[in-house]
Amino acid sequence: MMQLAGKKALVTGASRGIGMAIALAYAVEGADVAVTGRSLEKLAPVVDKMHAMGRKAVALEWDVSCVKGVDSRIEETAEKLGGLDLVVNNAGVIRSERFLSVTEEGWDAVMDTNLKGLYFSCQAAANHMIKKGIKGRIINIASDAGLRGAPVPYGISKWGVIGLTKGIAGLLLPHGILVAAIAPGPVTTEMMNWEPGKPVEITSPFGRMAYPEEIAQLAVFLASQGASRIAGDTIVINGGL
């Protein structure tokens, strides 16, 4: 039995890595999916794979750091899918800067996508769900870097994502909207400078980085009926680091 049959989902930053894995896992479980990214060309193969499964799938060119018009973007997504039950805020960027050399430009580049963009996406999704009476789910992709003190923008932004998730969960629960977050550790993605064929070993009890598909399975669970008592929590999946 498909866990997400008939659901309509939006996954941001889905042209590769964790976002792509979540979009495909949702399609496998029966959802119709809209995927976003900065390049429609890069999103096309993801959409093709979902179409091959018999799912409705659409690609939207969308830079989440540009928050102007985010409400209309959410409405457009719902119109194209025929509804909107699930929103996964995955889009994110990282910069390999150290505290003493972080620039304002670097700070803004990370914060505008990872925190500001995610914040207003949550707001727009919540407003849409409340207006339509949808008992939906909002799932934010954080990081285990957001669980400890952080001297650089990436970790600080993910700390903010975790705080935001907890902060809005109580506000939206009376509307039947559940909000949760996932905090992955190192994953075999381009963001981690990993390329196919490279070793995946890392110092952890598991002895390797996670695969995007493993994160995606947690995202499926959080979108399913099985997670109906999870609100405001951040689920850590970092291989015991």
> How confident is the model at residue 59, as a pLDDT?
98
- Which is the catalytic residue, given 26, 119, 154, 211? 154
Query: What is the DSSP secondary-structure string of the chain?
Result: --TTTT-EEEESS-SSHHHHHHHHHHHHTT-EEEEEES-HHHHHHHHHHHHHTT--EEEEE--TT--TTHHHHHHHHHHHHT---EEEE---------GGG--HHHHHHHHIIIIIIHHHHHHHHHHHHHHHT---EEEEE--GGGGS--SSHHHHHHHHHHHHHHHHHHHHGGGT-EEEEEEE-SBSSGGGT--TTS----SSTTSSPBPHHHHHHHHHHHHSGGGTT--S-EEEESTT-
Q: Is residue 71 part of a domain?
A: yes
pLDDT of residue 197: 60
159 lies in some domain: yes
pLDDT at 180: 98
Total domains in the fold of the chain:
1
Q: Considering the domain boundaries, does residue 189 fall inside one?
A: yes
pLDDT at 209: 83
pLDDT at position 21, please? 98
Tens place of pLDDT for every residue, the chain, 241 residues? 899 999 999 999 999 999 999 999 999 999 999 999 999 999 999 999 999 999 999 999 999 999 999 999 999 999 999 999 999 999 999 888 899 999 999 999 999 999 999 999 999 999 999 999 999 999 999 999 999 888 999 999 999 999 999 999 999 999 999 999 999 998 988 765 555 666 666 767 888 888 999 999 999 999 999 999 999 999 999 988 7
In a domain, 1, yes or no: no
Is 154 considered catalytic here? yes
**What pLDDT does residue 189 have?**
80
The reported pLDDT for the residue numbered 198 is 66
Residue 50 lies in a domain: yes
Looking at residue 200, its pLDDT comes to 64
Answer whether residue 3 is part of any domain: no
Could you tell me the CATH number of the domain that includes residue 108?
A: 3.40.50.720
pLDDT confidence of residue 89:
98
Q: Which domain holds residue 180?
A: 8-237
